[in-house]
Amino acid sequence: MTGLIAITRQVSPAINQCELTHLERQPIDWQRAQAQHREYVEALRSLGVEVVSLLPRLDLPDSVFVEDAAVVLDDCAIITRPGADSRKSETDLIAQVLFPYRRLFHIQAPATVDGGDVLVVGKRLFVGISSRSNQDAVEQMQGFLTPLGYTVHPVKVTGCLHLKSAVTQVGENLLLVNPTWVDRDGFPGMQFIDIDPSEAYAANAVLVGDHIIYPSAFPQTRKRLEAAGIKLVAVDASELAKAEGAVTCCSLVFNK
């Protein structure tokens, strides 16, 4: 085992009532989404991660996207305040799950932030300023984390829902990026792999040890990753992609 744990939640039967911001609504096949989510959980387990699988919630259509409810660091966890009102009650459920593992901080109004807007690279947090996350959240996070030795950096996001739709970590100091949605200059000291321009949503990957979990829908960007020596476990995430979800959204991965 890797010493990593992942919190996941099974797909809500109400997933077709999910929030949408940048995509047109399409029917989501719940049974297929469930099967794809099980494949994703098995991918985590194949990399030595202990998975905690929470039961689905009929009353919370977006609750499979557990990443948005918290940011888990080695020293603490921040319970978010999601930008969509329909998702705000998800955070209490995740706080209960994380309480045995971490000291908890809670984002308060008027701040809003989704975990999908927070990219953690070592002791640096890059926070997307988006339709879901605001500057008030950045300032609260700075207050929580500066005494613990972290720095928090706001980054402007355009064209997509979350920062991690535009950029994710795929190596120690290596980011996978869609440069049309986020400016590389916001990440000083980092190296970059650009997505293939034909695959706008290809910048989302889950880094687990020296592997990434990566959607099978982006073969051209996958070639770029493999050419850089990155080891991948590919999964089909096509149904949850219709809900503006991606592979990072579906888990909270952290050191036990």
* Active centre residues (catalytic): 162, 249
Greatest C-alpha distance within the chain? 46
Long-range pairs for 178-185: beta carbons < 8 A, 24 or more residues apart: 178/202, 178/203, 181/157, 182/128, 182/155, 182/156, 182/157, 182/158, 183/155, 183/156
What is the distance in angstroms between the CA of the first residue and the CA of the last residue of the chain? 11
- Can you tell me the distance from the alpha carbon of 133 to that of 137, in angstroms, rounded to the nearest whole number? 7
Partners of 211 in the beta sheet? 208, 231
- Can you tell me the distance from the alpha carbon of 189 to that of 174, in angstroms, rounded to the nearest whole number? 9
Q: How many CB atoms lie within 10 A of CB 195?
A: 24
Amino acid letter for position 59: D
- Can you tell me the distance from the alpha carbon of 131 to that of 119, in angstroms, rounded to the nearest whole number? 16
Pairing of strands 167-171, 151-156: unpaired
Q: Which residue has the tokens 């985590």?
A: 44
Cβ distance 185 to 204 under 8 Å?
A: no
- Can you tell me the distance from the alpha carbon of 79 to that of 12, in angstroms, rounded to the nearest whole number? 21
